[in-house]
Structure 1
Amino acid sequence: MTVTSPANTSPATARATGSVGLNRITADDDLFFKLHSLYPNALVNQLAYRFDTAVDRDLLADWHAHLATGFIARRVRTTRFPIARAHWEPATESLPLRWSDTPIPESRVLDWFLEQAAVEFDPERGLVWELAGAPLESGGTVVTLVASHVACDGGAMMHAIVDSLDRLNRGQAPDRLAGAGRLVGPVAGAGRFAADLADARGQLRAVVRGIGAARRARGVSEPARNPRPAAPRLPHADTWQAAEAIVQLDLADWDAVAAAHGGTTNGLLIGVAVGLLGRSGRVADGAEVRVDIPHSMRQADDPRANATTGLPISVGYRAGERADLPAIRAALKAAGLAYRDPATIPPIQHLQPVQMLLPKVVLHRFARTAKAPECLCTNMGRTAQNIAVLGSHRARDVIMRPVVNPGPVELFRQVEVGVNLAFSCDDDTVTLVVTGGDPDRFPTRAALRELLAAEFADWGLTPRFW
């Protein structure tokens, strides 16, 4: 959904003309905001660093100050005006830097990263991100930035990080109007009533258009997902932590294997994910697996918190065989072309303006019966090298991942979480963050690693596990 005002309207200009240029929330923002009230902090993104050098706490405090006036320093300003959308305003407060003086052993780095993802956010106050750091026993440092999906998707988080680190590393002072924070939008002024009235009218027109487009596209369907098998049902505690693994591989080897099998970097990621899901017993031999691939719609100077759509494709799983990379390549191309034409976009996408009118109680009812992706593959590309430098320190490792926080084990079974793979790389190394969210197929981290090792071996790849 497009923003109702030009992205390059400056906060100063907008403030001077009342509420003109309010940065209205998108349908995705609205969905995540409403789900936050049902599953608080369940949907967050995390950036994590491992440095071989000692990063000074004061340097992190300086970075925190830049983030606090940057692109993710935003809060939801709701409205009581019927139908009009809420909008974003600059946040005036933030969660403080969390620093631990207790050194972390190397063997606990992954656990430390996971623990930092448990943050209590408040989107209406603008408490939507947290920066944390700790020394390592080896003399290095670990740093993590966690942000609510209400306030940013992966692209928005990257924009905030790149901008804040660039300003920090240039020795510039924190300045909302000089950095990416200027895009967040103005504080609503005296003209808010008129702006809300205009937005309400626009939303009604969007609803009418959306319903019409959905009717015209009613014959369009998406790939079906596989139902979760009822057995086995392993013994677990009431609260369960999804199995997580971080694995690194040589980028040259990854690209060579992809090319040798007629595929691409992205295709191999999907092929490994489908093979992992099949090996776990989650899908049967011969099944067609629905794979969801986030696709960024972000543009230059884009003020949106969430600007991502999902491209679903169907990939066959055959026991004992590697995934067909040329078929995956063709499916990705077809999905990309289909989402450029409103006539071939599924009806549910056209109904987003209708979704925004649903009250929380209705959305909560739908959410309790909704299903999670059975296979989610996020390719962030060569982004790690763009954000690896903090002051005079270059990170040894940069990790980016969508977080699956601990929760009731029955909830994981009910929403049928499958596997999530997040890919990023620099010039030399591929880093994969893998989450096995099915408690009966990926009961432990060790079980997930064993399945991953077997899948990589079939592709002739040598993984290095954390």
Structure 2
Amino acid sequence: MTGADNTIDLGDQASFTGLRALGRGPLIQYTWIYDRPVDLDGLRRLHRNLGSGGLLGRRIERSRLPFGRHRWVRSTGPLDLDIATETRPVADVNDWANERGYVPVDPEHGPPWHLGVQPLDSGGAAVSLVVSHTIGDGLAISEAVADAVNGTPRDLGYPVAASRPRRAALREDIRQTVRSVPSWFRAVVGAAKIARDQKSDLAASAKSVTAPVSSGITTPVTPPFVTAVLDIDEWDQRAKALGGTSNVLFAAFAARVGQVVGRLGDGGRAMLSFPVNIRTEGDTRGNALSTITVMADPEKVSTDLTELRGDIKRELAGVDEWTRMMLTPLPLTPLVPKFAVRRLEKMVLKVGKPIGCSNLGRFPAAFNRPDGTEAEHFHARLIEPGLTPVDLERLNGHLFVVSCQTPTSIVLTVTAWEPGEANSKAALADSIRKALAELGLTGTVD
């Protein structure tokens, strides 16, 4: 494939604009754990293939115009694997994963991702892949990894950086901007309609939140995360017994964790926010996602998933219309200054206490073979290095739950931080055990 349009999607440009305005942005991390030494040659092959094409083999090149559309250009990623020289105990894997999350990635200057290996005292090893969320969402990354493992990375035909002569690039960007002008007017009308339609909801959500007293601490902090591994047959049987499905039981688990850690709104309901995959065949967007929000009763879901199942089904039925509405203002993205993005974040932060729920489902079989052989365990999580206690207080705290499936297991990863609480890994692990028990589930909580 050659000569492909390398203009960045407006949603991805919005992600990039937010990253630059706030000075931080979300990353996605996958961690695989082997009970035996990894094949370093196999991992180097994965590393090369990730950088030779596909959705991870690229980075952003800015427009010559301050209000122009950015473009994708080729990027091979970092020069090599990052292999630790000293072994560590298996119990330290999550601490090591946190450290890898602070190794810089950048969707513009690169590298947009990195791959690290940590030998373990037990004779095994851990492998970590960290990717800028602007480059790809969970599904995009998993597909890129599977293609790289199989040796079939996609050729997107992107040019090398700075391949357009300056004057030619300027003329091309001006023409593209002029063609965009009519969409700006439509976007203004659409944005005004959304503001009117959502005004009452925003006001109600803002009133339901009591602003925490600020700690004044501006030193970055790492919210604790804990993983839980459950037998998939037990999980599916419990979902059926409660009148739900695997996806609905995952939502119920998130609601119960929210209740245990005290992250509920008025009426004792949990605000569950789900990213919804809208990726199509051959899609080159980094983030092909929409969202739905469901208010769940954490008491009811312990004994009956019927109501929650119906609520989720109803929201999913309306996701296409919701997506079209929310995409309407996106043509204005190149025109939005950084100060406006920062102000918008402050407005959004007043809206309730959302619980992020990302159900990644079952990955392609090759995904769990980063070195060419099957890993014993893996987990996924969303991280945002640079967050401080003050930021997290403005966010009204943070709770994000990720679910992945293997042929035999459900793997849950929970990241949490609540203002004024201990925010320790041990306390979070206890909360997860309690939530599982309340749902009639058992699992290995690390």
Q: Give the TM-score normalised by the residue count of structure 2.
A: 0.88
1:453 aligns with: 433
1:179 aligns with: 153
Q: In angstroms, what is the RMSD of aligned CA positions?
A: 2.8
Q: Is this contact kept in 2: 1:89–1:184, CA < 8 A?
A: no
Counterpart secondary structure, 1:30: helix
1:67 aligns with: 50
| Partner residue of 1:273 out of 254, 262, 275 | 254
Q: Is this contact kept in 2: 1:184–1:303, CA < 8 A?
A: no
> C-alpha distance in 2, partners of 1:394/1:214?
48
Counterpart secondary structure, 2:420: coil
2:329 aligns with: 351
- Kindly provide the amino acid, as one letter, of the partner of residue 297 in structure 1: I
Q: How far off its partner does 1:123 sit?
A: 2.3
Provide Cα deviations, 1:162-217, integer angstroms capped at 9, x if missing partner.
111110xxxxxxxxxx731x226335546645542442134222223333444566
1:162 aligns with: 146
Counterpart secondary structure, 2:148: helix
- Kindly provide the amino acid, as one letter, of the partner of residue 326 in structure 1: T
Counterpart secondary structure, 1:104: coil
Counterpart secondary structure, 1:137: coil
Provide Cα deviations, 1:324-343, integer angstroms capped at 9, x if missing partner.
522222222222222223xx
1:130 aligns with: 114
Indicate whether 1:366 and 2:366 are aligned: no
1:203 aligns with: 180
- Per the alignment, do residues 184 and 368 of structure 1 end up closer, same or farther by CA in structure 2, a change over 3 Å counting? farther
Counterpart secondary structure, 2:362: coil
Please identify, of 368-377 and 83-92, the stretch whose mean Cα deviation from structure 2 is larger.
Answer: 368-377
Q: Is this contact kept in 1: 2:44–2:80, CA < 8 A?
A: no
- Per the alignment, do residues 146 and 345 of structure 1 end up closer, same or farther by CA in structure 2, a change over 3 Å counting? closer
1:81 aligns with: 65
> C-alpha distance in 2, partners of 1:216/1:462?
47
- Kindly provide the amino acid, as one letter, of the partner of residue 153 in structure 2: G
Stretches of structure 1 that go unaligned for 5 or more consecutive residues are 1-9, 15-20, 168-177
| Partner residue of 1:295 out of 276, 288, 299 | 276
Q: How far off its partner does 1:95 sit?
A: 5.0
Indicate whether 1:103 and 2:84 are aligned: no
1:146 aligns with: 130
Indicate whether 1:309 and 2:297 are aligned: no
- Per the alignment, do residues 134 and 384 of structure 1 end up closer, same or farther by CA in structure 2, a change over 3 Å counting? farther
Relative to its length, the structure with more helix (as a share) is 2
2:245 aligns with: 264
- Kindly provide the amino acid, as one letter, of the partner of residue 380 in structure 2: M
2:403 aligns with: 423
Q: How far off its partner does 1:248 sit?
A: 0.4
- Per the alignment, do residues 236 and 269 of structure 1 end up closer, same or farther by CA in structure 2, a change over 3 Å counting? farther
> C-alpha distance in 1, partners of 2:385/2:315?
30
Q: Give the TM-score normalised by the residue count of structure 1.
A: 0.85
> C-alpha distance in 2, partners of 1:328/1:198?
49
Q: Is this contact kept in 2: 1:240–1:409, CA < 8 A?
A: yes
Please identify, of 242-251 and 346-355, the stretch whose mean Cα deviation from structure 2 is larger.
Answer: 346-355
> C-alpha distance in 2, partners of 1:290/1:331?
12
Counterpart secondary structure, 1:449: helix
> C-alpha distance in 2, partners of 1:290/1:454?
20
- Kindly provide the amino acid, as one letter, of the partner of residue 307 in structure 1: A
Stretches of structure 2 that go unaligned for 5 or more consecutive residues are none
Identity of aligned residues (%): 24
Q: Is this contact kept in 2: 1:422–1:434, CA < 8 A?
A: yes
- Per the alignment, do residues 209 and 449 of structure 1 end up closer, same or farther by CA in structure 2, a change over 3 Å counting? same
Provide Cα deviations, 1:231-288, integer angstroms capped at 9, x if missing partner.
6989989543212101100111111111111111111111111111112223257333
Counterpart secondary structure, 2:433: helix
- Kindly provide the amino acid, as one letter, of the partner of residue 364 in structure 1: R
> C-alpha distance in 2, partners of 1:149/1:382?
20
> C-alpha distance in 2, partners of 1:426/1:92?
29
Provide Cα deviations, 1:375-398, integer angstroms capped at 9, x if missing partner.
010011011744112345210012
Counterpart secondary structure, 1:292: strand
- Per the alignment, do residues 245 and 228 of structure 1 end up closer, same or farther by CA in structure 2, a change over 3 Å counting? farther
> C-alpha distance in 2, partners of 1:236/1:122?
26
Q: Is this contact kept in 2: 1:133–1:141, CA < 8 A?
A: yes
Counterpart secondary structure, 2:423: coil
Q: How far off its partner does 1:367 sit?
A: 2.8
Q: Is this contact kept in 1: 2:222–2:387, CA < 8 A?
A: yes
2:360 aligns with: 380
Counterpart secondary structure, 2:294: strand
